[in-house]
Structure formats: structure tokens, C-alpha cells
Amino acid sequence: MADVILAGVGGQGCILSARIAAETALNMGYDVKTSEVHGMAQRGGSVVCMVRWSEEVRSPLIPCGAADFILAFELLEGLRYLEYVSREGAAIVNNYQLDPLPVLRGDEIYPEDALEDIHSIIPRMMVVQAREMAIEAGNVRAAGSVLLGVFSSFLDFPVDAWEESILRLVPGKAREVNRKAFTLGRQAGRASS
Amino acid sequence: MKRSLMSGNEAVAAGAYAAGVRVAAAYPGTPSTEILEELSKYGDIYCEWSPNEKVALEVAIGSCLGGARSLAAMKHVGLNVAADPWMTLPLIGVNAGFLLVIADDPGMHSSQNEQDSRYYARMAKVPLLEPADSQEAYEMVAEAFTLSERYDTPVMLRIETRISHSRTVVEHREERMEVDLPYERDAVKRVMIPGHARLRHPVVIERLAHLEREAESFRFNRMELKSSRVGIVTSGVCYQYAREAFPEASILKLGFIYPLPEKLIREFASHFRRLFIVEELEPYLEEGLKALGLDVVGKSRIPRDGELNPTVVGESLGEMIEMDTGVQGGGWSRPWHAPEAVFDSRLPGRPPVMCPGCPHRGLFYALGRCKAVPASDIGCYTLSVLPPLEGIDCQVCMGASVGMALGLERAFASSEVNRAKAGSVVGVLGDSTFIHGGITGLIDMVYNRTLSTIIILDNRTTAMTGFQDHPGTGRTIMGEETYALDLEKLARAIGVDSVRVVDPWDLDETEKVIREEMGAPHTSVIISRRPCVMLERTAGDYYEVEEDECNACGRCLRLGCPALVMRGESASIDCELCTGCSLCFQLCRQKAMRKVSGNG
């Protein structure tokens, strides 16, 4: 079983990554529930998706402090939803800062040591250069699949199950790039564990 | 049987397909939008984006009378627009089944209020079902149509954001029922002149007694008897929260919530000294149970605003349940909380913003320079309220900007203190919104000779809800080509004196036209026309800043473009985000912006 938080910025692909993880868990025979954010919040706003799988899942929303994993697509958003993560949980963090408008305007200040802050709360942290790896795979937009690849190295689902979900859910020509991005992430995850 | 992970909206669509729905109508609105989008994919159901929710409901009334099972779907506030037909439909009754799917948005993820639609069922005396996950949503649709036809009544299915946009496992069939009922004239039943309506109202009241019996035996009501000390009554997604927070509690989970199953509730209540009610928003169940004379704890502990979740439910009731059971926390294990120092106040917010290249940005920049008093509608452009554009002054609902502009203008014109503002009022609304609810307001403006300016932000789509077609786009939800409503011709036909079209990416021209029309002694419509940047990507051109030329004056930052940032002593453009709209180039007095062709 696992409770997973995916946190990022609208347009980064959190929803698609959440769906890939959920469909993979479904194919492994689990009961699965997800929670997504649609509509207004997607316009460059803060986005959080939740995925849970177990023998039986009740709430689609994860209680605070209960998540086993957080996939942070962006540093500030990782920090924002950290209260959902268990202290024994793991943080997979894309080392990427995307300044929100209030910071761009100089009205608010981006946390100086976001990575340190996350690490001080969740000792099990893996930092990923997901954007660079996605570019290596062929498209910066595949960063979510890099994070999923890293995440997959923490679980015992067979790699085929992941790839099957990616090929089924990612549209058209982006499929191969995402599969490659996933593979790069998985290798990085395995190398560090 | 297939086993799939479905959102609640997909499950409703799958259930409607299986139940043989032949006509479905909706206006897009988060969180309900995907119901019609999914249903349209089946290909053999007539689906339509209606101009607004009232029309959608009326289409479904007509088709159900015509013998086809029919569905209308909308978000909670949509039913305010459709409330007129909704309140009389129960008197008329149905022929083939009629289902209204209504999606509430507790927490207002994407809404202007968090009204509780359950009262609309009670007010109209219409049976109300509420699913607790996608499987129930799928199955309840079929139940709803059976009920609708058996009792000659419309039925309402209420879902919430966490049902609509949560994916849960659904076991579903591939087959589709066939329902095709003959149409026969029955004017006493279907023409609601007072004499007929007086005959029909007692029928509706009598029907409630039958529906209450159905509620008692509804298969999605479930009594889970565990602890003898703690009894919780709940429904919908709140059942999941209550079950998760208090695994040992006894729970009466209701699926049929109007009329309430009185006997079932009394039987459950007989096991407990008092009952806890777990529900989002208003004390709807609480009032129902209190009317039965039961001792209940509800909104005195559970918040009446915002969204619930297992944590809120656990924290709200844990202490009281501990008193009843002696079990620490009542069984709710309080989660670890991260140190506050890291969260809350220290973290900058990340509000949704208009996209880089959004055509609305140019319009609102130009409008801001004209010192207008803008009344707004609901759409992506409402985001212009935030700094730095601060583009709008007031906004309530769809279509309202036109009437509000009229009212503001009349107040200013007859005022001493606000006299200076007379003539500066504009109404701003989108193309889809104008068609939805703005046209009648514009007729009013011309009819009553009010000299304001209405700006239609025509981005050729319903953008905020995810790019749905509308009567102005020339395409239907089924992907068919159709007549595209001509906004200029329509405005002229209404009698608007001056109708002008501007490209909001041309700042000088846009500002000039707004100034001219605001100052002119007539009613005018300005159509700010450019397709949503998400629909029509530019050639890949972008701008960059020549750092030596930039004097860091910050003028370009007034646009609030997410692609523009001040880095040290110079502005800087994120070339991945920049769409080449050129607004910053137009603003820059130093000529520090340089265009880079996407082709190299």
C-alpha cells in the first residue's frame, strides 16, 4: 500500500503523472483512489494530486502527516504540501525553482533553502534534476515521468507495468520521450538506493 | 464486467450511457464539465453545450417528454440560472426519465460561492441521491432513471468536487438499455396554467410519501454497526472521511437524502445516546434529524464552510467521541504536524495567473490606463483582479457585468459624490459568458439608453473550464461544424450604436478605441478579439532582453506576465514561457526587447 502526494504548478503534468501511478497500482490488483485539481487552479497556480492504493481505500484525500511519498515537481510546492507527509515517508524532489508572481513582483520572498527545509522535516529525501534529465530524454515536459521513474525504484511494481501505463496514457508522439524519461529516472533512483 | 479507474464524472457518463440516455445537455462549469465531454465520446448520444444552464435543463425537459431518457448536468451555481424550469418541472412530471446531475464545490476550488444544492431538491420536492464514490455514481444513475419513470418525477443526483475529480474503481457493463416511450398529449398535466398547477401540486406532495418508502429501502443506504457507543450519520464523500477517521464507529451512510428515510434513521438512532452528523457545508442532514426529535451533534463541531477531509473530521469530533467511549481521541490518531515555522506565513502564495501570451493581458493593461470603473464577469479574465493589473472592481456571476455596468453608470450619473466617475463605467465579459447571460443585459442597456461601454473578450472558446466550444465557435461538442454566432451583427441588431473590434496585442490601438468609446455619448461594444493562446500557439517566436539596454525601470513588469522577471539590474524573459506576444516590447521605452525567431 502507499499514499502519494504529487505537488507542483499548474501545467507541469502532475495530473497525468498521478494517473499513470494510479493505473499502474490498479493493474497490480490494488484498490485505488486519486484526487485531482481541475479548472481555475490549473492556470499556473499551486496544484496537488493525491494517489492512494491498498487492499481497501476509504478517503480519496490523504490525512495530514500520513503520506508515504511526496513527488515535488517544484521546490516551493513540495514545501507547501509537506504537512501531508509522514516523518518516515520519502520525498522525491525536483531541484527546480519556479517563482510565483508575488515573488516575481518582489512582494514576497522565495524560501532561500527550500531543499534544506524539506530535508530537515523529511530525512529520506532524494533530489532529482528532473528537468535536465527530461531534456536529455527529448522534452522538458517529460519531467513528471523522470520523477515517476525515481519513484518506481522505491516500489516493487515490475517495470513493464509502469511502461504499459505510460504508453496507454501519454498522448501520441510524447510516448517514447516519456518512456525514456521514466527509464532515466528509474536508473537514477536505483543508483542512489 | 470491466474494472476501470474512473472519475465521478466519467462514472456518471458511463452510467448514463448504460441507462440508455439519448439526450444530454450542459453548460461547462467546474467541477461538472467532464460529464458531457465523456458522454459525447460515445458518439451515439445527442449531446450539446447549451448557451446556459437554463436552456440545458429545458432541452432535457423537452426530450424526456418526447420519450427519451434525458440528462442535464451543471455546477451548483448553474442551477440558480436554471431554477425557473427546475421548480415547475416536478409539477409536470416526466415521460421517459429525467436526471439532473449537480456538482457542488465545497472549498470553492473553482467557484464564486459554496452554496449547498441539497436544498434545491427539497425546495422542488424532488428525490435526491448522493453517491460516495464512482461505483455508486455509476450505479445510482440507473437507479435514478428507474425512480424517475416509476414515480413520474425528475431526480437529482448530487456530487461534489471530491466525487467529480476523484478516481475510484468502477466495475461496469458494456451494454446499453433501450428506452423509447411514446409521446402523447396531456395538457392538464403539462401546461401549468394556475388551474392545472393547482391539480398537480397535491400530486407532487402525495408522491413524496411514496418516495419516502423508496428511500427506506434504497440499496445505497448502509448501516454499519460496530461500536455501540458512537453512531455517525453521513452521506457522499463525507462517509469516506468519517470511516477513515473513526474505523470503529457505527455509521449510517445514506445514499437517498431527500426525502430522508425516517424509519431507518430512527432504528439506527435507537442504538445510541446521541448521533454525530458528518456533512459538508450546510446542516442539511442535521436539520432533518433534529426535526425527528433526535439528539445530534453536527455543525456545533464540524465546520460549516470549506471542504472536509479525514483530518478535519477527526480533529472536530475526536474529543467528544473520547468522552462517549473513553478511547483516547475517540479512535482518531492525531497526525504528526510539521513545525509551523516552515509553513504558513513564510511560504509565498501561488495564485493562478493569466498565461504568458494571454490576450486578456493587453486589454486589461490598456483599460487600466483609461481609468475605467470595470464591472466583470466570470472567466480567466477575472484573474486580472490580482496585482499588478488590478483590472476589475466587482464581479458576482455570469452575465452580471452588463447589468452591473448599467446600474453603476446610473448611480454615478445621479450622484454628487461620484459624479466624476460618470461615463467611465465599462462591463467586461467573455464570449461564452456574453452568450450565456450578457445578451439580455445589453438589450436593457440599449433600450434604456444607458451610455456605457461593454467589452467582449472574444478568445473563441470557453477557456477557464478547459476550452469547450460554444455558439460562437462554429463547432459543437460532437465535433460538427455549425453556424458561428456573429457577435458584431448581434450587437448591431440589438441596437448598439458603435461596435468595434480590436486586437488586444496592439496596446496603443486598444487604448485609443477604449478611450474613444468611453468618451462617446452612445452605447458601445468593443470586441477584443484574439484566440486563447492555449488554442493557437504562435510560431515559436519569443523575446529576449538586451541587458545593456535595460535600465530596470520595471515598466514591463506592470503586465504581470509570468515569463518576465527582474533579475539583478535587468529584466529577464523566460524563453520557454514567452509566446512572443510583444506586449513588453511595446511598453519598453529603452527598446531593450529583441525578437528571436522561433525558426532560428
- The answer on pLDDT for B259 being more than 80 is yes
> Do B232 and B192 have their domain in common?
no
> Do B230 and B132 have their domain in common?
no
- Looking at residue B223, what is its pLDDT? 98
Whether residue B136 is contained in a domain is answered as yes
Cβ burial, residue A104 (10 Å; 0-12/13-18/19+):
buried
Q: Per residue in B265-320, pLDDT tens?
A: 999 999 999 999 999 999 999 999 999 999 999 999 999 999 999 999 999 999 99
Residues 6+ apart with CB under 8 A from B595: B541, B542, B543, B580, B582, B585
- Interface residue A166 vs chain B (CB under 8 A): no
- The answer on pLDDT for B131 being more than 80 is yes
Whether residue B338 is contained in a domain is answered as no
Is B351 in Cβ contact with A45 (below 8 Å)?
A: yes
Q: What residue in A sits closest to B344 (Cα-Cα)?
A: A80
> Do B374 and B298 have their domain in common?
no
Amino acid, single-letter form, for residue B558: R
**Domain span at residue B182?**
2-216
Q: What residue in B sits closest to A83 (Cα-Cα)?
A: B338
Is B169 in Cβ contact with A31 (below 8 Å)?
A: yes
Q: What is the mean pLDDT of the segment spanning B163-177? A: 96
Is A82 in Cβ contact with B338 (below 8 Å)?
A: yes
Whether residue B340 is contained in a domain is answered as no
Is A39 in Cβ contact with B30 (below 8 Å)?
A: yes
- Which residue is associated with the grid cell 454566432? B485
Grid cell, residue B380, equals 480567466
- The answer to whether the CB of B149 falls within 8 A of the CB of B97 is yes
Give the three-state DSSP class for B354.
coil
Is A103 in Cβ contact with B237 (below 8 Å)?
A: no
- The rounded distance, in Å, linking the Cα atoms of A135 and A113 is 25
- The mean-pLDDT minimum among A153-157, A184-188, B346-350 falls in B346-350
Is B380 in Cβ contact with A19 (below 8 Å)?
A: no
Grid cell, residue B319, equals 474529543
Top pLDDT among B538 and A145 is at A145
Amino acid, single-letter form, for residue A83: E
Q: What residue in A sits closest to B335 (Cα-Cα)?
A: A65
> Do B132 and B41 have their domain in common?
yes
- Interface residue A56 vs chain B (CB under 8 A): no
In chain A, what residues touch B338 (CB-CB under 8 Å)? 65, 82-83, 121
- Looking at residue B106, what is its pLDDT? 97
Q: How far is A113 from chain B (nearest CA, A)?
A: 11
Q: What is the CATH number of the domain that holds B138?
A: 3.40.50.970
- Interface residue A87 vs chain B (CB under 8 A): yes
Helices (H) then strands (E): counts for chain B: 21, 24
Out of B216, B249, B268, pick the residue that ends a domain: B216
- Interface residue A123 vs chain B (CB under 8 A): no
- Which residue is associated with the grid cell 513588469? B557
In chain A, what residues touch B78 (CB-CB under 8 Å)? none
Nearest CB among B31, B237, B351 relative to A101 is that of B351
- Interface residue A173 vs chain B (CB under 8 A): no
- The rounded distance, in Å, linking the Cα atoms of A31 and A171 is 25
- The answer to whether the CB of B99 falls within 8 A of the CB of B148 is yes
- Looking at residue B142, what is its pLDDT? 98
> Do B76 and B110 have their domain in common?
yes
- Looking at residue A42, what is its pLDDT? 63
> Do B370 and B305 have their domain in common?
no
> Do B7 and B132 have their domain in common?
yes
Whether residue B39 is contained in a domain is answered as yes
Q: Per residue in A69-102, pLDDT tens?
A: 999 999 999 999 998 999 999 999 999 999 998 8
> Do B490 and B561 have their domain in common?
no
Mutation target for B interface from A38, A62, A85: give the one with most B CBs within 10 A: A38
- The rounded distance, in Å, linking the Cα atoms of B455 and A69 is 48
Nearest CB among B166, B309, B342 relative to A117 is that of B342
Largest separation between any pair of C-alpha atoms in chain B:
83
Is A61 in Cβ contact with B241 (below 8 Å)?
A: yes
Whether residue B343 is contained in a domain is answered as no
Nearest CB among B33, B245, B342 relative to A121 is that of B342
Q: How far is A103 from chain B (nearest CA, A)?
A: 7
Is B309 in Cβ contact with A45 (below 8 Å)?
A: no
Q: Per residue in A116-169, pLDDT tens?
A: 999 999 999 999 999 999 999 999 999 999 999 999 999 999 999 999 999 999
Out of B331, B347, B373, pick the residue that ends a domain: B331
What confidence tier does B454 reach under pLDDT thresholds 50, 70, 90?
Answer: very high
Q: What is the mean pLDDT of the segment spanning B457-470? A: 95
Q: What is the mean pLDDT of the segment spanning B92-120? A: 97
Top pLDDT among B215 and B536 is at B215
What confidence tier does B334 reach under pLDDT thresholds 50, 70, 90?
Answer: confident
Question: Taking each helix axis from N to C terminus, what angle separates B8-18 and B134-151, rounded to the nearest 10 degrees?
Answer: 40
Q: What is the mean pLDDT of the segment spanning B405-433? A: 97
Q: How far is B296 from chain A (nearest CA, A)?
A: 24
- The rounded distance, in Å, linking the Cα atoms of B223 and B352 is 42
Q: Per residue in A16-74, pLDDT tens?
A: 999 999 999 999 999 999 999 876 656 788 999 999 999 999 999 999 999 999 999 99
Q: If you compute the radius of gyration of chain A from its CA atoms, what whole number of angstroms results?
A: 16
- DSSP code of B389? T
Which ranges of B278-387 does DSSP label H, i.e. alpha helix?
284-291, 310-325, 359-369
Task: Find out whether the peptide bond into B31 is cis, omega within 30 degrees of 0.
Answer: yes
- Looking at residue B237, what is its pLDDT? 98
Residues 6+ apart with CB under 8 A from B115: B76, B77, B80, B104, B281
Whether residue B350 is contained in a domain is answered as no
Is B167 in Cβ contact with A36 (below 8 Å)?
A: yes
In chain A, what residues touch B576 (CB-CB under 8 Å)? 140
In chain B, what residues touch A99 (CB-CB under 8 Å)? 565
- Interface residue A46 vs chain B (CB under 8 A): yes
- The answer to whether the CB of B575 falls within 8 A of the CB of B542 is yes
B100 beta partners: B72, B156
Q: How far is B189 from chain A (nearest CA, A)?
A: 41
Whether residue B346 is contained in a domain is answered as no
- Looking at residue B600, what is its pLDDT? 46
Is A101 in Cβ contact with B353 (below 8 Å)?
A: yes
* Mean pLDDT of the residues in chain B: 95
Is A22 in Cβ contact with B353 (below 8 Å)?
A: no
Nearest CB among A35, A79, A140 relative to B166 is that of A35
Q: What residue in A sits closest to B247 (Cα-Cα)?
A: A58
Q: How far is B50 from chain A (nearest CA, A)?
A: 19
> Up-side HSE of residue A187: CA atoms within 13 Å toward CB?
9
Q: What is the CATH number of the domain that holds B586?
A: 3.30.70.20
- The answer on pLDDT for B346 being more than 80 is no
- The rounded distance, in Å, linking the Cα atoms of B579 and B564 is 11
What confidence tier does B333 reach under pLDDT thresholds 50, 70, 90?
Answer: confident
Is B562 in Cβ contact with A34 (below 8 Å)?
A: no
Out of B199, B216, B233, pick the residue that ends a domain: B216
- The answer on pLDDT for B446 being more than 60 is yes
Q: What is the mean pLDDT of the segment spanning B128-140? A: 98
- The rounded distance, in Å, linking the Cα atoms of A34 and B106 is 18
Instruction: Give the strand pairing for B166-172 and B2-7.
Output: antiparallel
In chain A, what residues touch B109 (CB-CB under 8 Å)? 37-41
Q: How far is A88 from chain B (nearest CA, A)?
A: 11
Top pLDDT among B458 and B345 is at B458
Q: How far is A80 from chain B (nearest CA, A)?
A: 7
> Do B67 and B203 have their domain in common?
yes
- The rounded distance, in Å, linking the Cα atoms of B75 and A51 is 25
- The answer to whether the CB of B309 falls within 8 A of the CB of B293 is no
Q: Per residue in B22-78, pLDDT tens?
A: 999 999 999 999 999 999 999 999 999 999 999 999 999 999 999 999 999 999 999
Whether residue B146 is contained in a domain is answered as yes
In chain A, what residues touch B336 (CB-CB under 8 Å)? 65, 86-87
> Do B523 and B549 have their domain in common?
no
> Do B497 and B578 have their domain in common?
no
Q: What residue in B sits closest to A111 (Cα-Cα)?
A: B347
> Do B106 and B238 have their domain in common?
no
Is B165 in Cβ contact with A36 (below 8 Å)?
A: yes
- The answer on pLDDT for B571 being more than 50 is yes
Residue ranges of domains in chain A, CATH in brackets: 2-192 (3.40.920.10)
- The answer to whether the CB of B364 falls within 8 A of the CB of B387 is no
Q: How many domains does chain B have?
A: 4
Mutation target for B interface from A3, A37, A58: give the one with most B CBs within 10 A: A58
Give the global pTM.
Answer: 0.96
In chain A, what residues touch B240 (CB-CB under 8 Å)? 58-60
Q: What is the CATH number of the domain that holds B241?
A: 3.40.50.920
